Structure formats: structure tokens, C-alpha cells
């Protein structure tokens, strides 16, 4: 009896040690075959070799995905991968493939594998859906994290808990997104399609693929920029970074007409979580005006989402005052495809994201969203007068306020008549009324 008790105690001890060692982790790959996985979309070759999953590129086929048989919602996923420098790949998660949607094309979140000079590994891309959610331009300190050379192994960690999505690359935090478009889905290993000028046969290898789905807690740290796609909210990390809301998502509190002390009686309204400029039409004439924040700012980081109707024009102004309450620097909000202003000015300096009539936004069309979709704008003003405009995760304008170049640009613009244009010490944030329907939300700011 005594021996049985000792044996049982020993087995319980071994079990406890083993459970503590695993800590809820489960392997998704048995190291022998592709049990638990199935291939979707393209015809790239997947096989097992030396305890590793190997994906090999082939010509004339779309993106290929080796997907888990099971869906996962909240989890922490870790794996190691080795990739040829010439390849691009990604790790799909919370992704979907249904015959009735795009003929089964895999779509959803993807953690980027990017050995190119761009170095966006660890960024978050929304495959076959919204495009880039988190470019690594937002966290450039993470760009060197990826180990180049083709023979190096890179360790990825993806954490999804509720609406919080975070990535790490070789222990370095990369992306932080808050989003709730898809809360559950498959995990998949991508072999990207290749162009005609690329030889087939390039390989990517994965190993040590494991997942944890129990006893999870979102990692909330304030060490990286956060892309929060939950309208009009701040997460704990954002609060720690000093962000605050300029619009509560429900009322016009904190805003007033430019040059006035009260909110305008018409032209603007808080509706469906947005601060909306109401269109002025022949059928429904509206006497609108610009609105400004109650608070003034000097050095700041300002984020805003905007959604314009087809053919609409608007803007976000800052450092207004010299020349009138609505005269100041402007981040252009415009339907470039439908509004004539896009072709006016000089060299495109009146297109979306531009410093209006002064500096054109350097942007690619794939980083812009059309009418009736949400764009993410950002204006950063540093204490040394450096200014940046961002659009959907990409920096599109950069200049130094008050520099000789700045003064020369102003001198040949429509603002030449205004003395010290854009050079006030501090001013409110202004949302322009331009007779068109434009919606704003998630207006948040932090002082620098």
C-alpha cells in the first residue's frame, strides 16, 4: 500500500511538472506529416522534411495557403520560419475561406513576412479585404528585428485576445492593432505567388508551431504605436501614451463654430458615432461653417478617421489665426477621383493628404480609400516645428514650419497675402465645412 501511495504521488508530481512545463501550449504540427492541415487557393508545393513544413513556389498560380482544419478565436501562436531573401510570405490568422465568398479566396488578418529592404515583417495586413492595417513605418524601431540571409530562423509570436491583436518578431514588439471585424478563423501558412521574372523553387520553412488558447490575458504595454480601429475608444496603452479623445462619439461637446463661442445651429451634427458635416444642396440648403476644438495645441500628435461622400471636399486645419479664424495649415480631405480641386494647384498639392496648396502628398493609390470608406489621417507636429502628414499608415508629407523652404512655398501660394501664415504659437484643431457630406470619428490627440 505504501509503495502504491508513493507511486501515485510520483505520478501526480510528474503530471504537475509536465503541465507547468507545457503551460497550456499545444503543437499544431506533429513534425511528421500534414495531419490537421489542408491546402487552399494556389498550387504551391507543401511537404514535410526533417521535421519542418516546407513550402515551395511554383509559377502561374495565385497565393497558396496551408490552413488548419480548426478555427481559432483567442490565442497566442508561436512558430519559427526560414525564408529565402527573394520571397514574400505571411501567417494568416482569424481568416476565412468560404465557397460563397470570393470563390473561397482566403481573406483576413495576416502577419507579414517581408525580407525585402522595405522590412515590414511583423506588420499586419488584411489579406483580400482592407489592405494594410499596420505598416512597420509606424514602428520603425522594429524593422531590424528580422534576421536576413535565408538560412536564419525567425521567431514569430501572434497574440489575439478579444479585439487586441499584437505581434512580436524575435522578441521585439512590432504591431498593435485593435479591431473586431473577424473574431475567429483559420490559421494558415502562405506561399506567395511569384511574378514572371522570378524563378520557381524558392522555399520557406516552418517549425515549432504551437498555440495556446486558455488562461490568456492581453499584453497591454505602452511601447509601440497603437492602431485602434474600434471607433471613438482608447485602450489602456493609448491612455498611458497620453492620448485623449477630442470627440466623445455622441455629442458636439468640446467643439464650437470657428470665431464663435457656441456650436453652429446647422451644418454639423453628431450622428451614428460620427461628427458629420451635412451636405448643402438645392433640395436641402444648409448654412454651414467650420468648427474648432475648445482646446488649443502647439506640439501634438493628432489622429482622425474620415469618410467622404462621392465628390466631397473638406480638410483638417491647424495653426489657424493669422489672417482669420479659418486661415491656417490644412490637411486636405478630398475625393481625388471626382473633385476638380485634385487637378488644381501645383503638382497635386490639393489632393488628399496634401498640405493644401503647398506640398503634395506622396502616396500610392493602394494606400488610399475611396468615397464612403474610412481613411485614417494623422498630423504630427514636433516641438522643433517638424511636421508630418500620415495617411493609412504611410507618411505622405514632411516639412519644417517656418523654414526658408516653407516661407518660399507660402510666398507662391494662395496664402501669400497673410503675414506669418501658419506661424501662430498654438491654435485649435479645425474641421472644415465645404458644403459636402464628410464624417469624422476617432478624433484623438496627445501633446508632444
Domain boundaries, the chain: 24-212, 242-447
Whether pLDDT at 24 is above 80: yes
The grid coordinates listed for 421 are 501664415
| Predicted confidence band of residue 19 (pLDDT cuts 50, 70, 90) | very low
The grid coordinates listed for 21 are 512545463
Mean pLDDT within 433-441: 98
Architecture (CATH level 2) of domain 24-212? Sandwich (2.60)
| Predicted confidence band of residue 358 (pLDDT cuts 50, 70, 90) | very high
Mean pLDDT within 256-278: 98
Chain CA centroid to CA 209, Å = 26
Percent pLDDT > 90 in the chain is: 91
Q: How far apart are CA 284 and CA 35, in angstroms?
A: 63
Q: How far apart are CA 283 and CA 358, in angstroms?
A: 35
Chain CA centroid to CA 29, Å = 30
Q: Is CATH 2.60.120.560 the classification given to domain 242-447?
A: yes
Q: How many CA atoms lie within 13 A of 428 on its CB side?
A: 21
Q: Helix, strand or coil for residue 144?
A: helix
Q: The whole model's pTM is what?
A: 0.93
Average pLDDT, the chain: 94
pLDDT per position as a tens digit, 103-150: 999 999 999 999 999 999 999 999 999 999 999 999 999 999 999 998
Who contacts 57 (Cβ-Cβ below 8 Å, separation ≥6)? 44, 87, 191, 192, 193, 194, 198, 200, 201, 202, 203
pLDDT at 2: 55
Give Cα separations from 85 to 27, 142, 189, 240 (angstroms): 27, 18, 17, 38
The grid coordinates listed for 341 are 480641386
| Identical fold, 24-212 and 242-447 | yes
Whether pLDDT at 15 is above 90: no
Mean pLDDT within 89-93: 98
Q: How far apart are CA 302 and CA 317, in angstroms?
A: 11
Instruction: Please work out, in degrees rounded to the nearest 5, the angle formed at the alpha carbon of residue 112 by the alpha carbons of 154 and 177.
Output: 110
pLDDT per position as a tens digit, 29-59: 999 999 999 999 999 999 999 999 999 999 9
Amino acid at each position: 500500500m505504501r509503495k502504491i501511495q508513493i507511486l501515485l504521488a510520483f505520478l501526480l508530481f510528474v503530471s504537475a511538472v509536465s503541465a507547468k512545463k507545457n503551460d497550456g501550449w499545444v503543437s499544431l504540427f506533429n513534425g511528421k506529416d500534414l495531419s490537421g492541415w489542408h491546402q487552399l487557393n494556389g498550387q504551391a508545393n507543401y511537404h514535410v522534411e526533417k521535421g519542418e513544413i516546407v513550402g515551395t513556389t511554383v509559377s502561374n498560380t495565385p497565393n497558396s495557403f496551408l490552413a488548419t482544419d480548426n478555427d481559432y478565436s483567442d490565442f497566442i501562436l508561436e512558430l519559427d520560419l526560414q525564408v529565402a531573401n527573394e520571397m514574400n510570405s505571411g501567417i494568416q490568422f482569424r481568416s476565412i475561406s468560404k465557397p460563397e465568398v470570393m470563390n473561397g479566396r482566403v481573406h483576413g488578418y495576416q502577419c507579414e513576412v517581408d525580407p525585402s529592404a522595405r522590412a515590414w515583417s511583423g506588420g499586419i495586413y488584411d489579406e483580400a479585404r482592407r489592405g494594410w492595417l499596420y505598416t512597420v513605418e509606424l514602428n520603425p524601431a522594429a524593422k531590424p528585428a528580422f534576421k536576413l540571409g535565408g538560412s536564419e530562423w525567425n521567431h514569430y509570436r501572434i497574440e489575439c485576445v478579444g479585439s487586441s491583436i499584437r505581434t512580436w518578431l524575435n522578441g521585439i514588439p512590432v504591431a498593435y492593432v485593435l479591431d473586431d471585424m473577424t473574431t475567429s478563423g483559420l490559421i494558415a501558412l502562405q506561399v506567395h505567388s511569384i511574378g514572371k521574372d522570378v524563378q520557381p523553387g524558392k522555399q520557406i520553412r516552418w517549425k515549432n508551431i504551437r498555440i495556446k488558447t486558455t488562461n490568456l490575458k492581453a499584453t497591454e504595454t505602452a511601447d509601440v504605436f497603437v492602431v485602434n480601429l474600434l471607433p471613438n475608444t482608447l485602450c489602456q496603452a493609448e491612455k498611458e501614451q497620453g492620448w485623449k479623445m477630442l470627440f466623445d462619439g455622441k455629442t458636439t461637446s468640446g467643439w464650437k463654430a470657428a470665431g464663435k463661442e457656441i456650436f453652429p445651429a446647422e451644418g454639423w451634427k453628431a450622428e451614428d458615432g460620427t461628427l458629420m458635416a451635412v451636405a448643402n444642396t438645392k433640395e436641402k440648403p444648409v448654412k454651414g461653417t467650420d468648427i474648432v476644438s475648445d482646446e488649443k495645441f502647439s506640439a501634438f500628435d493628432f489622429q482622425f478617421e474620415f469618410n467622404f461622400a462621392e465628390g466631397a471636399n473638406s480638410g483638417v486645419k491647424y495653426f489657424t489665426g493669422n489672417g482669420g479664424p479659418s486661415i491656417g495649415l490644412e490637411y486636405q480631405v478630398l475625393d481625388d477621383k471626382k473633385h476638380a480641386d485634385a487637378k488644381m494647384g501645383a503638382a497635386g498639392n490639393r489632393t488628399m493628404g496634401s498640405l493644401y496648396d503647398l506640398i503634395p502628398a506622396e502616396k500610392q493609390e493602394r494606400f488610399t480609400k475611396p468615397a464612403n470608406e474610412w481613411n485614417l489621417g494623422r498630423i504630427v507636429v514636433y516641438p522643433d516645428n517638424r511636421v508630418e502628414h500620415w495617411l493609412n499608415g504611410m507618411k505622405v508629407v514632411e516639412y519644417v514650419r517656418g523654414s526658408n523652404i516653407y516661407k518660399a512655398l507660402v510666398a507662391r501660394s494662395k496664402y501669400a497675402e497673410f503675414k506669418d501664415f501658419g506661424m501662430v504659437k498654438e491654435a485649435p484643431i479645425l474641421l472644415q465645412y465645404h458644403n459636402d457630406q464628410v464624417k469624422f470619428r476617432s478624433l484623438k490627440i496627445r501633446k508632444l
